[in-house]
Chain A
Amino acid sequence: MGFWWRFNLLVFTIAILSTPVLSDLILSKVDRRIDLTSQIVRITSTLKVENAGSGLVSEVLLAFPELQAKNLVYLMATTNEGKGKTKSSGVSLPVEVANPKGMPPALTVYSVSLPKALGEGDTMSLDVLAVFTHTLKPFPEKITQADIQLVLFQDSAYYLSPYAVKFQSLSIKLPDARIESYTKIENTKIHGSEIKYGPYENLPPFSYSPLVVHFEINQPFAVAQELVREIEVSHWGNVQVTEHCNIVHEGAKSEGEFSRLEYQARPHIRGSSAIRHFVAKLPPRAHSIYYRDEIGNISTSHLWADSKKTELLIEPRYPMFGGWRTAFIIGYSLPLQDFLFESEGKRFLNISFASPINDLVIDNLVVKVVLPEGSRDLSVSTPFPVKQRQESKISHLDVVGRPVIVLEKADVVPEHNQYFQIHYSFNKLSMLREPFMLISGFFFLFVACIVYVHVDLSISKSSASYLAKLQWDEVRATIQQVESIINQCLATHEKIEASLRDLSRIGDVQACKTTRKTADGLLKEHSKELKPLLAFLQSSPAAANILPKVEELVAKERELQERWMAKHSIIVDCYEKKLGGREIENRVAPQQQKVVALRQEVEDLLEYIDEI
C-alpha cells in the first residue's frame, strides 16, 4: 500500500514536471459554429488535437475569456472513438476547472481528460459544446412597443486557445432577420443569415481578434429567476409535478406606453419583441394538467397529446415585453409505472431534472422530491453536480412527515434536462399507514359514541327524574326480556304446528308425541322464567302504565298455549282412532278459529309494547 502510494506520487510529480507548458499539443484543425438563433448561445467546436511533442499527453485545455466564462453554464466534451464505419456516438469526457501556471489571468481554463493518452504524432478529434446565457446584450437597451429588438454579440474571430492552431474556420448562424452590422476582417463572407470567418492558417497560441455582431432577434428572452419544481411520489399510482415559475423577459426593456389596440391589430409589427406564449413538452401520458396563478385558473392554454409526448402551450395573461414579469404555476400528474422502478430491493425514481418549458433559462432551479412517508436510505445520483439538502413535509394523512430531497442548481438551460435518480428503500407495509389513519379516525368516533352511551352523565344522582329514569330503564330491560320469552314461546308453537303437518303427511304418531313432550318442557321453563319478571313489574311503580298490557300479553299467550295443546291432543287422538279427515276437521274447527284469533291478538300486543 505504502509503496504504491509513494510510487504513484513519484509518477505524478514526474508528470507535472515533465508537462512542458502546453506546447506539445497543436490543433491541426478547428471548426467552430456559433448558434445565435435563440437567447441561449451555443458554441460547438470540433477540434483535431495532435501531439507534436514526444511525451504522453492525457489532457487538453480549453480557454475562455473571463467575460464569457462567467456566463458559461454548460460545457461538454465528447470524442468520437474509432474511425469510419465503427465510429460510435460521442462518449462524454470529464471536464474540470484547471488553473495551470503560466496562463494569462484573464482566462478561465478547463481541462478535458482524454480517455487514453496521446503518444507522439497521435491525433484525436474532440467535440466541445459550450452553452452561454445572458450573453446577447440588447442594444439599444430600451425600445418602444413598435421597435424591433437588436442585440450585440461579442467573441473572437480566432479560436482562443493555449495551443497553436494550424487551420481554423468559424461560422455564425443568425435568426432569419435583419443584420445591422458585423465585424469585417479578412476572409469574411455572408450567406443569407450565416456569417463565415476564415479559413485562417497557422495562428500562434492566444490569438485574439475581437468580433461584434449586431442583429435583430425576436425570440423570447424568457428567464426564470426562480423555478421551484415539486415532484411528489405516491405509491398509490401517481407522480404529481408542480412547477412554480417566476419568469421575466430579459430582452430590451420596454419604454413608452403599451397600446393593447395596436398590439391586437398588428401583433407582429407592434409587439414583435413580446413573448406571446410558452411551450412545455410534458412526458407522455401526463394527465390532470392545470395552469393557474394566484388569481386562479388561466384559461389560455392548449394541449396536444400523442403516444410520445404531451405538448402544452400556455399564454400568459398579457403579452410580455422587455422587463415585464409574470408568475404562474403549472401542474400535472404522471403514471407511476413510467418513473418509479425497483432494482435489487431498492426503489428508484427516474425523472428529468429541468423544467419542460422550451428555451427557458433558469437562474435558480430548486427541485424538491417528496417521497412517501416511510422511505429510508435516500441517495441521489445526478449527471452534474448540484447542491442538495433534506427536509420534511407534512401532507395528507401524515404523522411524522414525508422525506423531501431538495436539489438546487443555478443557471440551468435545456441541456440540463437530463434524467436523475433518487434511490430509497421502502417497506410495502408502510403503504397501509394512510388507510390505518382513516380507519383509526372512524374507530375513535365509534368508541366515543359507545362511551357517551355507556357513561352516566347526569350531575345530580339523587333527583327524582334521575331515579325515575333509572327505574324506567330497568322496566324497559325487563319488558324486553318478557318479549323475548314470549317470542320463544311462539317459536315453540310453530314447532307443534310443524309436527302436526308432518303427522298429516306421514302419519307418524310417535314422532308427534315426542315433539309434544319437548314442547311441554320448554313452555314450562319459559313460564318459570316469566314469573320473577312479572313479579318485578308488579312491584315497580314505573311499570304501572304498561303492566296491564304485559299481563294481558302473558295471559293471552297462556291461553294460546292451551288451545294449541288441546288442538294437538284432539288431532293425535283422532289419528289413533283412525278417524277420517273430515271428522278431524270438524272436531278441530272451533280450536282452530280460537288459535288464529289469539295469535293475532298476541302479535298486536307485542307490537304495542315494542312501540313503548
Chain B
Amino acid sequence: MAPKPITSPVPDTCYPTLAVSMLAIGLLFTAYFFVYEATSSRRNRSLAKELTTGAVASFFLGFGSLFLLLASGVYV
C-alpha cells in the first residue's frame, strides 16, 4: 500500500469563513444568554434553559475561535 498523504479534516481555505460564521452564531447565543440572565427574575428562571444556551454558545464560540486561530496562522 502506497503511503497516503494526510490533509487537514477541513480544507484550510475555509478557515476564515468558518471562523466568521461560527463566531457570529456563538455571539448571538451569548447575547441571548445574557439578555435572559438580566431580564428574567430569580423565581421563574430555568436552569436547564440557561445551561443549554450556554453550552450551544460555547460550542460555537469554541470552534469559531479555533478556526480564527488557524486562519490567522497560529496552528494549534
Contact = CB atoms under 8 A, between A and B. Distances in A.
Contact of A445 (B10, B58, B73): B58
A480 B7 CA distance: 55
A13 to B, nearest CB: 45
B70 A236 contact: yes
A337 to B, nearest CB: 4
B5 A234 contact: no
Interface in B17-43: 26, 33-34, 37, 41-43
A336 interface: yes
Contacts of B54: 443, 446-447, 449-450
Given A238-B75, A396-B76, A446 B58 contact: yes
A443 B55 contact: yes
Contacts, number: 119
Contacts of A209: none
A240 B58 contact: no
A347 interface: yes
Contacts of A454: 42, 45, 47
Interface in A393-422: 395-397
A12 interface: no
Interface string A309-351: 0000000000000000000000001001110111110011000
A288 interface: yes
Interface in A196-241: 232, 234-238, 240
A333 B5 CA distance: 17
Interface string A529-570: 000000000000000000000000000000000000000000
Nearest to B6: A340
Given A337-B7, A431-B9, A396 B69 contact: yes
Contacts of B74: 396
A338 B76 contact: no
Interface residues of A, number: 45
Identify the interface centre among A288, A343, A435, A474: most chain B CB within 10 Å of its CB: A435
A344 B70 CA distance: 29
B4 A342 contact: yes
Nearest to B44: A477
Contacts of A122: none
A333 B74 CA distance: 11
A336 B62 CA distance: 24
Nearest to A348: B3
A344 B3 CA distance: 8
Given A236-B76, A446-B57, A481-B44, A441 B7 contact: no
Nearest to A444: B58
Interface string B42-74: 111101001101110111011101100110011
13 contacts: A235-B9, A236-B9, A343-B2, A344-B1, A434-B66, A434-B76, A438-B61, A438-B62, A442-B58, A446-B54, A446-B58, A473-B42, A480-B44
Interface of B: 1-10, 12, 26, 33-34, 37, 41-45, 47, 50-51, 53-55, 57-59, 61-63, 65-66, 69-70, 73-76
Lowest 6 A-B CB distances belong to which pairs? Answer: A446-B54, A439-B62, A237-B8, A442-B58, A341-B3, A234-B75
